[in-house]
Structure 1
Amino acid sequence: MTSETTTQKRAIIVGAGIAGLATALRLEQDGWRTLIVERAPARRSSGYMVNLIGPGYDAAERLGILPALAPKALGIFTTVLVHADGSPKMTVPSALAEAALGPRVLTVFRGDLEAALHDRTGAEIRFGTTVSAMDQDPSSVRVQLSDGTVEHADLVVGADGVHSRTRSMLFGDDFRVDFPYVVGAFALSESDHNGATTFIGTGRTAAVVELGPARSSAFFTYRCADPAAELALGPAAALREAFADVPFAASLPVPDDVYFDRVSQVVAPRWSSGRVVLAGDAAWCVTLFAGHGATLALTGADTLGAALASGGDIPAALASWEDTLRPQVTRRQRAARRGMAQYAPPTRLHLWLSEMTMRAVTLPLVRDLVRRAIARQ
C-alpha cells in the first residue's frame, strides 16, 4: 500500500484521452509512477481538429510535445461560407482566424495530439479495462479493476470523459447538462480540394476542411428535439437526413470511428473528494462549441501537476488546483452556451446577424480591435 511518505508516489488514471495522457506525462515529470486504465481495446488514431490556444500552447511546450506536433500542424486557412447548394456566399480570410485565435496557437488532429502525448509518456496502459470498485482512506486509494486485479495508489484521476463512470462513482449523481443538439466530426481519408467550406443554416452547421491527405476533416452540428433518437439512427443516417439539402455535406462517406454524440456540459459542484479527482471533460466538459476543450485538458493537467508539486497534502492540493482553474472553466462554458447560437442559429434573424458580424470583422480596423481584445484575455 502506498503513502505520501514513500519515495515515489503512484497515480492511477482512468482514461487514455488527451486529459489522461497529459496528466500522466505531467506527473511523471515530477517523479510519479502512473498506470492508465482505458475502456477501449486500443488507442484511437483519428478524430476532429483541436486548437491549442494560449495557455494550452504553453502547456504543450512545458510538456515537451511541441516538436512532435509541429510537423502535424494544420496552420491557418481561408474559409468559404457557402449556400446550401455549395455556391459561395462570402470568404473569411485566414487573417480573421489569426485575429480570433491569437499569436500562440497550434491546430492539429486530436489523434495526433494523443499520439504525441502517448509517445512521450512512460505510463503503463491497460486497454480494455475499467474500474469496478474504489474506496479510500486518508493514506491511499484502493482500486479494483475489471481484469480482476486490485491496485493501490496515492491518487486516482478520473479522465474518462463526459460520460465519466468515475464521476458517478465519486459523487453518486450525474452532473451532465444536455442540450438539444448533436455533433459529429471525423477525419477525411481523401481530399481533392484545398481550403475550408462551411454552410451555416438555421439550426445547423456543416464544415469541411480539406488541406490534403491526412489533413482533412468534417464537422457537423444541428439542433434537434430528441438527441437520443438521432443517436439511435446512427451517424451516417442521421447526418444524411439532417443535411439532405446540402450536397457537399450529405455525400461525404462517414467512417466507423466518427465522433457522434449529443452536446453536453458537465457542471459538477466539486472536482475532487479526498484523493480522487476528476479532470478534463469528466470534470468540466465545455463542449466543442467552446473551442477550448484540448487547451483546458492540457492546462488542467499542467496546473494539477504544479499544485501537487507545491507541497502539502494531496486533498489540499486538489482543492487549491480547482480554486485556480474553475473560473477559467466557467468562462469557457458560458462562452460555449453563447456559441450555440453561432453554430446553430435559432432563427433567420440570428443567421443574418451572425453573417453581418463576420463581414464586419473582415474589415482591417475591426480585425485589429479583435486582435487587441484577444491579446488582453
Structure 2
Amino acid sequence: MLIPTSGVRMKRAVIVGAGIAGLATARRLAQDGWHPLVVERAPARRSGGYLVNLLGAGYDAAERLGLVPALSDRALGLFTTVLVRADGRPKLTVPSAVAAAALGPRTMTVFRGDLENALYEAVRDHAEIRFGTTIATINQDAGRVKISFSDGTTENADLLVGADGVHSATRTALFGPDHRVDLPYVVAAFPLPQPPAEVPESSATTFIGPGRTAAIVNLGPHRSSAFFTYRCADPGRELTRGPVDALRAAFGDLAGGVPEAIRHVETDPSSAYFDRVSQVDAPRWSIGRVALLGDAAWCVTLFAGHGAALALAGADQLGAALRRHGHDVPSALAEWETGLRPEIVKRQALARRGMYQYAPPSRFHVWMNDVTIRAITLPGIHGLVRRGIERQNR
C-alpha cells in the first residue's frame, strides 16, 4: 500500500466498485500519486468468464496502465466462427483471417476474469480495497467529499467515483434512478471448464435466429465460454425464473453444443452472468467532486462489444484530466466528460443497431445478416471492413 511522503498530503479518492472500471480507475490514479480506496459490496472478488475485446482507445489505455504484458500471456488469439443451423449443421464459415482484418493489429481478446485479475494484481499494493462494504451517506462541499460506510468508518476524500455497474447505487443516490433504459432482452454468459465435443477446437459456433443468438467458443479446457441473448416481453420475469429454466425454455430446441452448455449452468448456476440488457443515458456524469464511470455512467450493453475497452479508456482519460487540472477536480471532471461523451453516444447508437444482429426481428433479417457475413468473407472485402472498423475506433 502507498505510504504518504512526510509533509506531503496525498490526494484521496474513494472508488465504489471493484470491477474493471473501478480497478482501472484506482490503477490510473495511483500512478499519478493519489491514494485510492476501493469499496465493493460483494464479500469477495468476482469474475466473469465471457470474452472482451480491447481495441482502439481501450488497448491504448491497457498499455498506459501497464496491463499488456500480463494480458499477453492470457490472450485468446483469433478463432474461426462457424454459423450453424438449429440442428448444429454448419451454414457458413468466417475464417480467423477475416476477424484479424476487421479488428486490426492493436487488439487483444481476453476473458473478463483475466482482465480483472491483471488489474487487481496491478492495484493491490497501491490501493486499499475493502470488500463487503457499501456507502451509507455522501456529503460534499467545494473542497471535500465526506463519505460514511456501512462498516461505521468515514472518509474525507478529494474525489468519489461511482464505478458500481449498470445497477449503480451511487448513480441512484446522487443522480436519480431513471437514467437506466431497460431493453426487451436478456443476456447470459459463462465460462465452460470443458468445451462441448460438437464444437471444433479453436472455433466458435454461432446460431442466430429470429429474436435470439447462441454462441459457444471452444479454445480448450478452461478457455471456453458460452453466450446467449434473446428478446422477451418481460425480462424481469425471465430473471425470476433464473438462468437454468430461462435458457432451457429459450434454447432447448437447439443442438450443436448448446444442450451441453446449458447443463453446465444446471450444475453451477452461480457461474453465469444473467441479466436484462440495459443502457444508461445520464445527462451528466459528475456533480461537484463525484463522478460516475463505466457502466454506472454510460452502459453501452454487450451488443456494443466495447464495454471493457470504454471502462479502461474512461479511467485513463479521467486520470489525465485530473493531472492537467491539479486540485480543480470539478473542472477536470467537466473536461473529461466533454471529451469522452461523443464516443459513448456513438457506441450506444451502434449497440442499438447491433440488436438486429444479435436478435434479428424476423427470418428476413436473419437472411440479410447471412448475406452481409458472406460478403465480408469475399476476397478484398474484409480490407474494406478493417478500414471501416479503424474509422469507428478513432
Normalising by the residue count of structure 1, what TM-score does the alignment of the two structures yield?
0.97
Residue 275 of structure 2 aligns to a residue whose secondary structure is strand
Q: CA deviation at 1:367?
A: 1.0
Q: Which residue of 2 aligns with 1:166?
A: 170
Q: Which residue of 1 aligns with 2:215?
A: 207
Contact 1:12 1:153 in 2 (8 A): yes
Q: Which residue of 2 aligns with 1:25?
A: 27
Which residues of 2 match residues 217-228 of structure 1 at below 5 A? 217-228=225-236
* 2:130 maps to amino acid: R
Q: Does residue 239 of structure 1 match 2:247?
A: yes
Q: Does residue 333 of structure 1 match 2:348?
A: yes
Residue 73 of structure 1 aligns to a residue whose secondary structure is coil
Q: CA deviation at 1:173?
A: 2.8
Q: CA deviation at 1:374?
A: 2.2
Which residues of 2 match residues 140-159 of structure 1 at below 5 A? 140-159=144-163
Q: CA deviation at 1:6?
A: 6.1
Q: Which residue of 2 aligns with 1:117?
A: 119
Q: Which residue of 2 aligns with 1:367?
A: 382
Q: State the superposition RMSD in angstroms.
A: 1.2
Which residues of 2 match residues 129-144 of structure 1 at below 5 A? 129-144=133-148
* 1:364 maps to amino acid: P
Q: 1:298 aligns with which of 301, 312, 318?
A: 312
Which residues of 2 match residues 305-344 of structure 1 at below 5 A? 305-312=319-326, 313-344=328-359
Runs of 5+ in structure 1 lacking a partner? none
* 1:203 maps to amino acid: G
**Which string of whole-angstrom CA distances, capped at 9 and with x for unpartnered residues, describes residues 314-333 of structure 1?**
00100000000000000000
For 1:101 and 1:174, how far apart are their aligned partners in 2?
35
Contact 1:131 1:144 in 2 (8 A): yes
For 1:102 and 1:323, how far apart are their aligned partners in 2?
28
Q: 1:91 aligns with which of 93, 102, 111?
A: 93
Q: CA deviation at 1:46?
A: 3.5
Residue 138 of structure 1 aligns to a residue whose secondary structure is coil
**Which string of whole-angstrom CA distances, capped at 9 and with x for unpartnered residues, describes residues 205-233 of structure 1?**
00000101221000000000000010000
Aligned length: 373
Q: Which moved more, 1:317-326 or 1:95-104?
A: 95-104
Q: Does residue 108 of structure 1 match 2:116?
A: no
The share of aligned pairs that are identical, in percent, is 67
Residue 43 of structure 1 aligns to a residue whose secondary structure is coil
Residue 217 of structure 2 aligns to a residue whose secondary structure is strand
Normalising by the residue count of structure 2, what TM-score does the alignment of the two structures yield?
0.93
Q: Does residue 358 of structure 1 match 2:373?
A: yes
**Which string of whole-angstrom CA distances, capped at 9 and with x for unpartnered residues, describes residues 231-253 of structure 1?**
00000110011001113213321
Q: Which residue of 2 aligns with 1:184?
A: 188
Q: CA deviation at 1:98?
A: 1.5
For 1:72 and 1:251, how far apart are their aligned partners in 2?
25
- The ranges of structure 1 where at least 4 consecutive aligned residues each deviate by more than 6 angstroms after the TM superposition are none
Q: CA deviation at 1:101?
A: 1.7
